[in-house]
């Protein structure tokens, strides 16, 4: 079987170029070290590690080869070279390898760096007794002094528990002749290894003998050094001399916005928890739950995640396929967009909202079309999407597309149209140029879309509130602005609020003003209309996730509750620690999604909740969209009324935390 390595030719080419730069390795003519920087000359005196320029070799293959030749394998060096770990002090570059890596871009140098397999070796006699006697020849007939190589990564796992082991197949791979039968590579039988001997092997491994170590430098007195010395006296440790050498100088940037942006990761603003200066009691920061997708970019996590250190929470696979889109709506939400399965949203509860002006925005949007230059779009398409030459299309040819398809994507900065939609908008004479059958979306140039936005599409939302025009304070800036406005004659152009200087309170004028009896303020102004979440919870208080948790905890039959997202990350609330339900809660959303998929096959209707009745208690999960609620019961089951209420709450709260692709 041949393996295809991407960019292998490229690496070979770069490698050969680099080797050509450093000179032929096998050149036997003496080279006078003239006109070389001192750093290079020093590095030449360091023993070059020729093996590091070779590609890594599979230790097992080597062992098998040596076994076939009948040679006795030697230990890979560590045991014998324990005393040879002399630390070489050097001030220059790091030898031929170092010179090469400095010449090459870091990514290429890293790719060319050989990957050394970590191995240890043991005498065959050390493990013969642990091997299944039925599978091997009589022990007396086997040369016990043979050494076998073991991958350290395989043995390390067992070291933690004091029982290192290796698979039988690994041993078979190296010494097949001692076996009576062949062992399949997939054979899971394990052979235990002597702990102490394995530990000795690990301990005897030494770093490469040609390592360079930098020179010690005097230390500057810093607050860290002060604490270091204090800690040394506390812990009885000593401070090693600081070593540094030929490192590139510190790159310095002036404090421009770009420099700060480049240096600092973009932190999400509101979720910070801070240690207050002077608070010496807390040793670990108080953590708050924070919703962010696993890779920090709000995109799907990579598929290949090693199992050894996988995610702490399950990843919602269902949400990975669709890209997150930022809703971009300019019109007021219409009733048509409101979910229909919300019986608790009665006309009374939403009466104030119903009075909102509801324009037939959707209908209007459907009518609005945007015309874009066809030639530009066709030129931007991939060749497989085209049937002919786009240059034959005249520059004035246009394609008219429904604006409703484009508007929601404007905020994302990337506008794509389904091939079918695009074909429908094409003028008949140019339809033959476009392959409708191709699945790839048609990308529209953003600048063209923005240039050709229909005027009717850009209007303010209907439900915007007009702020009251307040009085402006006179400041040096406002005076300057007034001057500028006069100078540039732009008073009329700026729709500024009237500039007023705060007048001194004229007591006398107030006295003259007839006292107007205070009119009772309408009740509707005192109590703002409830939003659907407040309706579901049954309170007038302003609610956030924590507030909702507090309200739910007051319900009959609910001992405690917690909200978590579909990917298992916690939103608010907590369950009693004695139940240790963190793992269950993290898994519950994915479990419910699975169950919900199967509910489609039944006639039981949509899934409303999932109750787990256990010997020490019961817990019910409710889920809607991307939000899940876990409620621990106080005693028996929850009443129907409470269940309904919790369903509604989850439903309403999920709207706040779920991004719908518009």
Chain positions 315 to 374 lying near another protein, rule: CB under 8 A, are: 315
User: Please, which residue, 156 or 462, has the CB nearer to another protein?
Assistant: 156
C-alpha span between 643 and 608 (Å, rounded)? 9
User: Please, which residue, 156 or 436, has the CB nearer to another protein?
Assistant: 156
Decide: is 205 part of the binding site for another protein (CB under 8 A): yes
Chain positions 282 to 311 lying near another protein, rule: CB under 8 A, are: 282-285, 287-290, 292, 294-297, 299, 301-302, 305-306, 308-311
- Cβ 33 to another protein shortest distance, Å: 20
Cβ density class 119-147: b for 16+ within 10 Å, e for less: bbbbbbeebbeebeeebbeeeeebeeebb
Q: 3-state SS string over 425-461?
A: HCCHHHHHHECCCCCCCEEECHHHHHHCCCHHHCCCC
User: Please, which residue, 265 or 606, has the CB nearer to another protein?
Assistant: 265
- Cβ 610 to another protein shortest distance, Å: 21
User: Please, which residue, 272 or 328, has the CB nearer to another protein?
Assistant: 272
- Cβ 662 to another protein shortest distance, Å: 25
Which are the contacts of 274, defined by CB distance < 8 A and separation ≥ 6? Answer: none
- Cβ 17 to another protein shortest distance, Å: 18
Chain positions 19 to 58 lying near another protein, rule: CB under 8 A, are: 49
Chain positions 488 to 547 lying near another protein, rule: CB under 8 A, are: 488
C-alpha span between 288 and 279 (Å, rounded)? 18
User: Please, which residue, 96 or 390, has the CB nearer to another protein?
Assistant: 96
Which are the contacts of 481, defined by CB distance < 8 A and separation ≥ 6? Answer: none
- Cβ 175 to another protein shortest distance, Å: 25
C-alpha span between 252 and 111 (Å, rounded)? 29
| Pairing outcome for strands 215-217 and 610-614 | unpaired
User: Please, which residue, 245 or 402, has the CB nearer to another protein?
Assistant: 245
Two tokens at 79?
A: 């045991």
Among 86, 233, 274, 602, binds another protein (CB under 8 A): 274
- Cβ 581 to another protein shortest distance, Å: 12
> For residues 185 and 169, is the Cβ–Cβ distance under 8 A?
yes
- Cβ 228 to another protein shortest distance, Å: 4
User: Please, which residue, 112 or 136, has the CB nearer to another protein?
Assistant: 112
Integer CA distances (angstroms), 642 to 43, 57, 646, in order: 77, 66, 6
User: Please, which residue, 227 or 411, has the CB nearer to another protein?
Assistant: 227
> For residues 131 and 168, is the Cβ–Cβ distance under 8 A?
yes
C-alpha span between 480 and 444 (Å, rounded)? 44
> For residues 387 and 569, is the Cβ–Cβ distance under 8 A?
no
Chain positions 207 to 246 lying near another protein, rule: CB under 8 A, are: 207-208, 210-214, 217, 219-225, 227-228, 231-232, 235, 237, 239-240, 242-245
- Cβ 473 to another protein shortest distance, Å: 23
- Angle, helices 95-103/38-45, rounded to nearest 10 degrees: 140
User: Please, which residue, 367 or 484, has the CB nearer to another protein?
Assistant: 484
C-alpha span between 198 and 121 (Å, rounded)? 8
- Cβ 464 to another protein shortest distance, Å: 34
Two tokens at 364?
A: 């209007």
Integer CA distances (angstroms), 254 to 249, 250, 260, 262, 631, in order: 16, 13, 9, 12, 54
Two tokens at 591?
A: 């479990």
Chain positions 383 to 422 lying near another protein, rule: CB under 8 A, are: none
Q: What is 540-609 written as a DSSP string?
A: -S---HHHHHHHHHTSTTEEEEEEEETTS-EEEE---GGG--HHHHHHHHHHHHHHHHHHTTSSS-S---
> For residues 562 and 553, is the Cβ–Cβ distance under 8 A?
no
- Cβ 173 to another protein shortest distance, Å: 21
Q: 3-state SS string over 498-549?
A: CCCCCCCCCHHHHHHCCCCCCCCCCHHHHCCCCCHHHHHHCCCCCCCHHHHH
User: Please, which residue, 89 or 411, has the CB nearer to another protein?
Assistant: 89
User: Please, which residue, 219 or 639, has the CB nearer to another protein?
Assistant: 219
Chain positions 550 to 589 lying near another protein, rule: CB under 8 A, are: 569-570, 582
Chain positions 598 to 637 lying near another protein, rule: CB under 8 A, are: none
Binding residues with another protein: total (CB under 8 A): 115
Chain positions 64 to 103 lying near another protein, rule: CB under 8 A, are: 78, 87, 94-95, 97-98, 101-102
User: Please, which residue, 255 or 357, has the CB nearer to another protein?
Assistant: 255
Chain positions 253 to 272 lying near another protein, rule: CB under 8 A, are: 253-255, 259-260, 262-268, 271-272
Residues composing the chain: 662
User: Please, which residue, 143 or 200, has the CB nearer to another protein?
Assistant: 200
Among 24, 106, 470, 605, binds another protein (CB under 8 A): 106
C-alpha span between 494 and 190 (Å, rounded)? 82
Among 62, 64, 128, 199, binds another protein (CB under 8 A): 199
- Cβ 197 to another protein shortest distance, Å: 14
> For residues 625 and 650, is the Cβ–Cβ distance under 8 A?
no
- Cβ 546 to another protein shortest distance, Å: 13
């Amino acid at each position: 079987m041949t393996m295809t390595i991407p960019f292998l030719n490229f690496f070979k080419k770069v490698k050969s170029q680099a080797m050509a730069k450093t000179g032929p390795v096998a050149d036997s003519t003496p080279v006078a070290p003239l006109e070389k920087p001192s750093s290079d000359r020093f590095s030449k005196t360091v023993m070059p590690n020729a093996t590091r320029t070779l590609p890594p070799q599979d230790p097992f293959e080597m062992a098998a080869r040596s076994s076939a030749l009948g040679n006795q394998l030697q230990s890979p060096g560590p045991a014998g070279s324990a005393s040879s770990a002399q630390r070489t002090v050097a001030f220059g570059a790091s030898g031929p390898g170092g010179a090469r890596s400095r010449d090459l871009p870091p990514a290429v140098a890293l790719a060319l760096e050989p990957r050394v397999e970590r191995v240890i070796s043991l005498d065959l006699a050390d493990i013969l007794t642990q091997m299944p006697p039925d599978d091997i020849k009589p022990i007396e007939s086997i040369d016990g002094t043979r050494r076998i190589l073991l991958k350290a990564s395989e043995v390390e796992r067992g070291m933690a528990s004091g029982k290192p082991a290796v698979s039988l197949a690994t041993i078979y791979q190296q010494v097949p002749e001692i076996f009576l039968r062949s062992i399949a590579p997939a054979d899971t039988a394990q052979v235990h290894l002597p702990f102490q001997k394995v530990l000795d092997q690990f301990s005897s491994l030494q770093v490469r003998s040609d390592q360079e170590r930098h020179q010690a430098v005097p230390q500057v007195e810093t607050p860290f050094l002060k604490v270091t010395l204090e800690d040394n006296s506390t812990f009885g440790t000593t401070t090693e001399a600081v070593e540094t050498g030929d490192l590139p100088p510190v790159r310095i940037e002036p404090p421009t916005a770009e420099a700060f942006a480049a240096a600092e990761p973009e932190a999400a603003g509101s979720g910070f928890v801070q240690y207050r200066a002077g608070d010496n009691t807390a040793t670990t920061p108080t953590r708050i739950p924070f919703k962010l997708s696993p890779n920090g970019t709000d995109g799907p996590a990579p598929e290949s995640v090693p199992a050894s250190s996988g995610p702490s929470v399950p990843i919602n696979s269902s949400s990975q396929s669709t890209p997150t889109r930022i809703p971009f709506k300019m019109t007021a939400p219409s009733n048509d967009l409101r979910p229909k399965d919300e019986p608790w949203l009665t006309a009374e509860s939403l009466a104030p909202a119903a009075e909102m002006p509801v324009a037939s925005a959707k209908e209007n949007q459907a009518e609005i079309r945007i015309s874009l230059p066809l030639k530009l779009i066709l030129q931007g398409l991939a060749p497989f999407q085209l049937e002919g030459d786009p240059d034959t299309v005249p520059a004035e040819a246009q394609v008219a597309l429904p604006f409703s398809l484009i508007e929601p994507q404007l905020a994302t900065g990337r506008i794509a149209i389904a091939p079918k939609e695009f074909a429908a908008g094409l003028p008949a004479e140019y339809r033959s140029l476009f392959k409708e059958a191709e699945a790839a979306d048609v990308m529209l140039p953003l600048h063209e879309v923005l240039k050709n936005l229909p005027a009717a599409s850009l209007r303010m939302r209907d439900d915007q509130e007009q702020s009251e025009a307040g009085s402006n304070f006179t400041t040096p800036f406002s005076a300057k602005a007034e001057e500028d406005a006069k100078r540039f004659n732009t008073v009329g152009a700026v729709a500024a609020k009237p500039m007023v200087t705060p007048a001194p309170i004229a007591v006398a004028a107030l006295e003259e003003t007839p006292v107007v009896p205070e009119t009772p303020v309408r009740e509707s102004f005192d109590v703002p209309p409830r939003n659907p979440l407040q309706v579901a919870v049954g309170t007038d208080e302003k609610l956030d996730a924590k507030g909702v948790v507090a309200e739910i905890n007051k319900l009959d039959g609910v001992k405690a509750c917690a909200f978590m997202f579909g990917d298992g990350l916690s939103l608010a609330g907590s369950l009693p620690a004695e139940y240790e339900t963190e793992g269950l809660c993290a898994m519950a959303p994915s479990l419910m999604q699975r169950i919900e998929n199967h509910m489609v096959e039944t006639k039981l209707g949509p899934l409303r909740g999932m109750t787990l009745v256990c010997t020490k208690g019961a817990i019910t999960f409710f889920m809607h969209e991307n939000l899940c609620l876990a409620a621990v019961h106080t005693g028996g089951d929850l009443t129907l009324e409470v269940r309904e209420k919790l369903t509604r709450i989850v439903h309403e709260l999920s709207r706040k935390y779920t991004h719908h692709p518009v």
